[in-house]
């Protein structure tokens, strides 16, 4: 069970397949494969396309009782982390970003499943990731680090391409050795698939070392990181912030939902704007993400969908169209979609220009107030991902 810790901290993780040689407890049943939800671009489809490198990040969050600060950091800093990968590329090819989420260690989760839940399979639907993070609740339980790493490794659709960046971040604060699956077995399985496991201990480095978090990262040839889950995330306000946030909300007017997902997805988009506004600076960083190539809503938006070739306007039935397109000719439909696409490009260009100005302003401020160490979730992920991307021949700048 969770033991109260004065220094509670927290973080992330991710991984797929059946263990060949890894030692598992004799009584342990083979884990059932979670059903991938139809969110975002299919990893299998991306594998087949071979059109771009991929960055896959699985985040495994301890949601036991002392982890509220960790969850808050994840909610607050999601868009900062996403923005780090806007320029991710190998050579001249820009990379796709996919995020998966697991939670573990909460007593309300099924005991027979090791108190572990796959929240999301790999997805490019960033609004869905945000929605799920804001829906997380904490509660006491047992934290089986090895088992959640094993499940993520076996049950997610990891890329089979050697050059793709495949990362698991597991965050928590209890001893790493708990549960029926040893971390050595789970991490060996991940390494065979080219997945790098990074540990984020919520607490001091000394405590992380004594409870196995450091040893697990060393065994994985990943990074051992320590954060203060209850630390307030530093935010430097800039003159461009309000206008960037406003333009981010204006972008919503350029989205045209189609099919059964359209109405729900539009509501989710607006709800995540509201959620982001609860934290200083998050509405700004979210708007910057929405102005980037990573914010792909081709599964429900006609502008993105037609641009990516996922939907054809003339193939949609009238009942699959939003009110503004019903009863219109094919030419009229195309004209409206083209107009919204042009409007979106103009707003995104404005945001990107303001973002560049903001980055210069913030860089100057940070020179005078630089803080060392990965002491918050976003810093831990960005610091390690930058190094591990470089090792795979991938640049993030």
Residue 39 lies in a domain: no
Q: 335 and 254 in one domain?
A: yes
Same-domain pairing of 183 and 101: yes
Do 265 and 160 share a structural domain?
Answer: no
Cβ(115)–Cβ(142) under 8 Å?
A: yes
pLDDT digits (tens, 9 = 90+) for 263-279: 999 999 999 999 999 99
261 and 358 together in one domain: yes
* Model confidence, pTM: 0.83
Report percent pLDDT > 90 for the chain: 74
CA distance readout (Å), 212 to 52, 58, 79: 37, 20, 30
> Within this chain, do residues 294 and 310 fall inside the same structural domain, yes or no?
yes
Whether 16 shows a pLDDT value over 60: the answer reads no
Amino acid 47: pLDDT:
44
Specify if 30 maps to a domain.
Answer: no
Band the pLDDT of 10: cuts 50, 70, 90. Answer: very low
Which pLDDT belongs to residue 44?
47
Query: 375 — phi, psi (to 5°)?
Result: -95, 0
- The answer to whether residue 306 scores a pLDDT higher than 50 is yes
Q: Do 172 and 67 contact (CB within 8 A), yes or no?
A: yes
How many structural domains are present in the chain?
Answer: 2
Q: Which H helix or E strand runs over 382?
A: helix 377-391
Same domain, 270 and 312: yes
Over residues 232-291, the pLDDT tens digits come to: 777 889 999 999 999 999 999 999 999 989 999 999 999 999 999 999 999 999 999 999
As a whole number of angstroms, the longest Cα–Cα distance in the chain is 68
Residue range 366-386, pLDDT digits in tens: 777 655 555 788 989 999 999
Cβ atoms 73, 378 nearer than 8 A: yes
Residue listed under structure tokens 């998050």: 282
CATH number at residue 222: 3.40.50.410
What pLDDT is recorded for position 118?
A: 98
Q: Tell me which of 304 and 36 has the higher pLDDT.
A: 304
Q: Which residue range forms the structural domain that includes residue 310?
A: 241-365
């Amino acid at each position: 069970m969770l033991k109260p810790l004065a220094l509670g901290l927290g973080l992330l993780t991710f991984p797929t397949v059946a263990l060949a040689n890894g030692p598992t407890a004799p009584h342990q049943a083979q884990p059932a494969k979670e059903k991938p939800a139809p969110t975002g671009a299919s990893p299998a489809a991306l594998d087949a396309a071979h059109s771009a490198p991929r960055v896959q990040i699985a985040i495994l969050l301890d949601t036991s009782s002392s982890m509220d600060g960790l969850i808050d950091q994840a909610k607050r800093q999601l868009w900062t982390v996403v923005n780090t990968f806007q320029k991710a590329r190998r050579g001249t090819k820009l990379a796709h970003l996919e995020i998966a989420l697991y939670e573990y260690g909460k007593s309300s989760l099924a005991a027979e499943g090791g108190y572990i839940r796959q929240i999301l399979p790999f997805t490019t639907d960033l609004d869905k990731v945000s929605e799920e993070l804001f829906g997380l609740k904490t509660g006491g339980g047992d934290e089986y680090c090895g088992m959640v790493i094993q499940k993520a490794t076996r049950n997610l659709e990891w890329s089979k391409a050697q050059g793709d960046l495949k990362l698991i971040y597991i965050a928590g604060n209890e001893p790493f050795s708990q549960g029926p699956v040893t971390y050595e077995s789970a991490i060996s399985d991940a390494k065979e698939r080219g997945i790098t496991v990074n540990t984020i201990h919520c607490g001091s480095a000394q405590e992380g070392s004594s409870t196995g978090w450091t040893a697990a990262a060393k065994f994985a040839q990943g990074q051992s990181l320590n954060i203060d889950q209850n630390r307030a995330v530093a935010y430097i306000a800039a003159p461009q912030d309000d206008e960037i946030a406003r333009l981010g909300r204006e972008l919503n007017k350029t989205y045209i939902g189609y099919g059964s997902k359209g109405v729900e997805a539009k509501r989710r988009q607006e709800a995540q704007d509201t959620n982001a506004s609860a934290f200083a600076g998050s509405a700004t960083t979210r708007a910057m993400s929405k102005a980037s190539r990573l914010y792909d809503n081709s599964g429900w938006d006609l502008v993105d969908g037609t641009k990516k070739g996922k939907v054809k306007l003339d193939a949609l039935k009238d009942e699959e169209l939003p009110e503004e397109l019903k009863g219109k000719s094919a030419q009229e439909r195309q004209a409206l979609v083209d107009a919204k696409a042009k409007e979106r490009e103009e707003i995104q260009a404005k945001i990107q220009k303001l973002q560049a100005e903001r980055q210069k302003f913030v860089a100057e401020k940070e020179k005078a107030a630089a803080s060392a160490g990965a002491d918050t979730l976003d810093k831990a992920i960005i610091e390690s991902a930058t190094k591990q991307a470089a090792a795979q021949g991938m640049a993030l700048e």
